[in-house]
Amino acid sequence: MDILSDDFIMQLANAANIRLHGSSVKYIKLLLEPFVNTDQILMLVSARFPRKNSSELSQIINYNAGAMLLTDRMTRNNHIQDVSVQTLQTIKMTIIEYMIILILGVLRRSPMSNIETVFPWDVKSAMSEDEALSKIMEIQFVNTFEVVLPVNLVVGAQQFTLNVTLEFVFGLLLFSFISRIDFNITMYGVKFFPDYMAPDNITRFTNFKRGPRTLTNYTIEISGGTYGFESLNFIEGFISGALWTGVDHHLYWKNLRDYSLDDMNGKEITF
């Protein structure tokens, strides 16, 4: 069994009732590679894990590999670095599974995961808010809408890699959906499809009303649908798509409103 396979991560995510986007699976694998690719994994864990997690993980390792460790220690003069390949592999599997469960745990506690697909920006933000994972992964606190990660896209015949926010990407994706111009947006090899932004698709960008209140900072009307978003990165992504294709973005949208100070009525703004 692959120590860090897509199927294994998806299996754990499905069991936790979390909808991981394919790019999130690849991102989690990328984050965990340092723990998979080193034979000094126990030293790495010891250096980064908070005491509570180290203690918990030690108990799990002893449960999964205790008998194997005991045999290795008896036959190899108690040198932990000399454990057998089979034992080390079992320990690695235990640590990786534990860390995936930690990541899924913080995602599960996020209100967004109950109604929405989880993207890499969500993963990084959720980890940054957790005391243990922020230390283990050495991540400083950052809000989902401020996280910047690399995406690949195609404009005409040229390929680009841009470090952008989640909302920039989905603003651009919305322009793709409306204009039917596909920028072939990918992240860690996984494609983002414009149809995700269809107005009848229930996402964080369409499911933002609770009674008369608007639970987002901005809304905009585009092609018969109303979309909500937290930062102007969203409209910047949309406008970028229009600029790259030489069209006037004003032809596509109307009624851009700011609800950051008044969640009942908002204020119309221009861009």
DSSP structural state of residue 232: T
Neighbours of 53 (CB within 10 A): 19
Q: How high is the pLDDT of residue 104?
A: 92
Residues 254 and 268: their CA atoms lie apart, in Å, by: 10
- What are the tokens at 45? 């864990």
Mean pLDDT rounded to a whole number for the chain: 84
pLDDT tens-digit readout, 74-116: 444 444 455 566 667 777 778 888 889 889 988 988 766 666 8
Residue 78: the pLDDT is 45
For residue 66, the model assigns a pLDDT of 52
| pLDDT per residue as tens, the chain (271 positions) | 576 889 989 999 999 889 999 999 999 999 988 887 766 777 777 777 777 777 777 777 665 655 455 455 544 444 445 556 666 777 777 888 888 988 998 898 876 666 689 999 999 999 998 888 888 888 888 888 889 999 999 998 899 999 999 999 999 999 999 999 999 999 999 999 999 999 999 898 998 877 777 788 999 999 889 999 999 999 999 999 999 999 999 999 999 999 988 888 889 988 7
Domain ranges of the chain: 6-143, 149-268
Residues 6+ apart with CB under 8 A from 226: 199, 206, 219, 220
Q: If phi over 0 gives left and psi between -120 and 50 gives alpha, with beta otherwise, what is residue 84?
A: beta
Give the per-residue pLDDT at 75.
Answer: 46
